[in-house]
Amino acid sequence: MPDETSGRPDWSSNVSAFESELRDLQTALAIPGLAYVIVSDSGPIASGAFGKAQLPDSTPFTVSTPLRIASVTKSSAAVVAMQLVDEDRLDLDAPARQYAPGLSIPDDVTLRHLLSHTSEGTVGTDYVYSSSRYAMLGQVIEAVADTSLDAVIRARVLEPSAMQAYPSPDLGAHAALVSTVNDMGKYLTALEQGKLLKPRALEELASPSRTPSGTLLPVSLGWFAQTVQGRSVMWSFGQDDPEHSGALLVRLPEQRLSLFVLANSNVLSDPFRLLMGDVTKSPFAMSFLRLFAFSPAGAPLSRPARGDSAISSAVEAQEQRADYRYRDELIGWALIDLWTNDRVNVRRKMDLVRARYTDSAPDPVLHFASVRLDDPSVREAALLDGERLLEAHPQNRWLLLAQGYLLQQAGRNAESSQAFQRILDLPNQEPDFIRRLFTFWSWMALAQMTAPNDPAQARVYLQNIVQSGVTGEMLDDAKRMLDSLDQKRTP
């Protein structure tokens, strides 16, 4: 309902419900400090902050606390790229090496491929979230603008948005811009008011990209873009070091409403596998969507209590009263339970999702989460989902990894080995940290399955890990397994 004095919608009760849910999620995930802002095309509607800086510092976390916004930086780099496209200084379909010849990528990788995370695998076809490839956009922008990326973002994003420029020593097109909730609210307001992009360019950022065959991708250009229960959503997420920061940006193009959340812990994003391209798995995002996209101003749609033992009947009662489905919120809450090792509630929510929403397509995030449960009945359903998902996305390394582990848990070692070998054989992969992780995970799984019948081959896989330069727990695991094999070989 509108405010009688301004004629604008009165969102106060929706904001109150949102803050209550934010506090609940913050507590559930043990996030020390968190702040948010919600803006419309006329500016901020509400903002707030809860909690403290990281221990032992007890300074209050505020809307003016500067932190790296991690991969939400990609959204700003995309805005700059679209400005340069409008100025005819960049062509999205030109090879990236046309602008930056020193880039180590295939000749047929275009700027559009970098922006839509389709530069790996089969170029233009496979969505492979890649911060390393996206970072190359920075070299392109610097070459065209003939100045540093930091200077370009200051001149083209921060200054037009009236944002403060904080030192960002690690800034790339992919990550590490330092900002605050207050300043990000100014950024979102500037976007809504057309100060950064023309309407056509902003509309393109809100529209999912497609493969050459017409298949929708979960991204547009530098932003994620999807339809959630009939509503268009564009978004971005950030996941920094575990105890540094996490960030979430969600924009509703049709309503011209946006949310930005910043936390001093990456669990704002990490438990929800957002790099798979589905914002509905974030309870933070879905709380905002339910209360501001699916609820009218002044009449917020409530949610069942996350830990309610009678959650099934509570969800049924809620869905009978409103045209809104709680499926994805249930999955998001199950992911919180999984993160906090509450296996009973994970299973209760996952069983409810599978029983209640039988018309749903296989879910990549649910498939991936099933690995950690190691439950035979859950595993069988997940394996069937994995088969269907891999039919559509045969080179998706996250799907292959989860399916490989599920098959290994089921004792289907031959099929599992094939899945891990497919990961090792994937074409056109950037040799970055993520690629190395997938290689190490695959070698370790292959070593575990090979050891009983072919210990010599298992040693080869383990030696690959040791000689690769990997450190930490994975190196320790490989060495322990090698020692065990050596002890068995000793007469």
Residue 56 maps to which CATH number? 3.40.710.10
Peptide bond preceding 56 in cis form (omega within 30 of 0): yes
Mean pLDDT by 10 residues, the chain (491 residues): 66 97 97 97 95 87 97 98 98 98 96 97 92 98 97 98 97 98 98 96 96 93 97 97 92 97 96 96 98 96 89 92 94 96 92 91 92 90 96 94 98 98 96 93 97 95 91 90 83 56
Domain of residue 480, residue span: 411-489
Tokens 């930005």 locate to 260
Cβ atoms of residues 192 and 258 within 8 Å: yes
344 vs 46: CA distance, rounded Å: 36
* pLDDT for position 58: 85
145 and 267 assigned to the same domain? yes
Q: Look at residue 37 and give its three-state secondary structure.
A: strand
* pLDDT for position 6: 59
418 and 293 assigned to the same domain? no
208 and 67 assigned to the same domain? yes
345 within some domain:
no
β-bridge mates for residue 235, sequence order? 224, 250
* pLDDT for position 310: 87
86 within some domain:
yes
* pLDDT for position 3: 56
477 vs 199: CA distance, rounded Å: 53
Last residue of a domain, which of 284, 302, 320? 302
* pLDDT for position 106: 95
337 within some domain:
no
Number of domains in the chain: 2
265 within some domain:
yes
Minimal CA–CA distance to 79: which of 207, 198, 233, 189?
A: 198
Last residue of a domain, which of 302, 330, 350? 302
43 vs 206: CA distance, rounded Å: 20
Q: Nearest 5 degrees, angle CA 417-CA 422-CA 426?
A: 155
Tokens 């989860």 locate to 402
275 vs 464: CA distance, rounded Å: 28
292 and 441 assigned to the same domain? no
112 and 259 assigned to the same domain? yes
85 and 203 assigned to the same domain? yes
322 within some domain:
no
298 and 415 assigned to the same domain? no
116 within some domain:
yes
184 within some domain:
yes
* pLDDT for position 189: 97
What single DSSP character describes residue 146?
T
Last residue of a domain, which of 271, 302, 333? 302
Query: Is residue 40 left, alpha or beta, with left meaning phi > 0 and alpha meaning psi from -120 to 50?
Result: beta
319 within some domain:
no
